[in-house]
Structure 1
Amino acid sequence: MIKPQALRQHLLASVPALAADPTKLDLFVDKGRLVCRPTASLSFAYRYSLNIVAQDYAGDVNGLMVPLLAWIAANEPDLLAKDPHEPFTFETEILDGDRADVSIDLELSERVRIQGDALVYVPDAPVEDSFGVAARLAQIALTDVAVPETTLVPQA
């Protein structure tokens, strides 16, 4: 499986709090399944839940969520196309005023094709993004542009 390590590298490159201390980022593959059909090719797919845990995360949680959404848009675009549009779930344990443990569960899949003596990971087909959302998320996540702070507006 290659997506967990690719996502880890992306988060470490995109989230300064995690880059400063990579030991605060843990990834776990849960509920893994191997999906295949009885064909001569022996090609198969991994399907699994990836649990991402950011420990003692300080700062605005948007700084973690936006890079994750950018990675999903590029590497698991089907999650953004599903209806309802809920690409992942999360839980947060608030430790104090500005620190929390954040746990994110993400359903991933990876197709593997056997070509001769080699295993080849098949990239996910891109999903049409007519509004440029994926590009905007990637721009926010991969630049030094600060994610705007959220302001709560009282309901009337």
Structure 2
Amino acid sequence: PNQGAQLYWGRYFKAFIKEHYAEDVLALASIGLDAPDGRVQVDANGEAHISWTTPLVAGNRTFDLVQAAANLVEQIAGASPYGGERLRAQTWDDLRRYTSVHPVGGCRMSDNGPTGANGGVVDANGQVYNYPGLYVIDGSVMPGSVGVNPSHTIAAVAERMSDQLLAAM
């Protein structure tokens, strides 16, 4: 059998967790307001080029705050009588191996059309500018992070856009 499937799913994963992490595990996650500064541009040959500078590197305020929160939890959880051992992640690349987030953005919603500093990809109904009949209805239409778990916001935006799409049919 596939070793990756054995490690991350089913009875193998359950046995691994039971053996190594069955008691007193605390996962620390953080939610922040990152800048919506990523860009995807298509050149004259139709090739997509992605530009994004991760702010989550050591020395950056967001990264340092995540590390400070982890240190505080370690102090609390490591205090007697709890004991504890921290699984350390040294860089954001290490952290990303252990976590998943709610990605938003990438198909920015805007009422300004596709041009200008506040330009977007879709209008308030999810209709892609300059491509009639093409809609994007998911979390990617949000202009950026909302600073809290975005599940309900994504659902509300998608429900409204879906209602508008159905009404237009």
Q: Same fold (TM over 0.5)?
A: no
TM-score, normalised via structure 1 length:
0.23
After TM superposition, the score normalised by the length of structure 2 is 0.21
Greater Cα radius of gyration, structure 1 or 2: 2
> Counting strand residues as a fraction of each chain, which structure ranks higher?
1
* Structure showing greater relative contact order (alpha-carbon pairs closer than 8 Å, 6 or more residues apart): 1
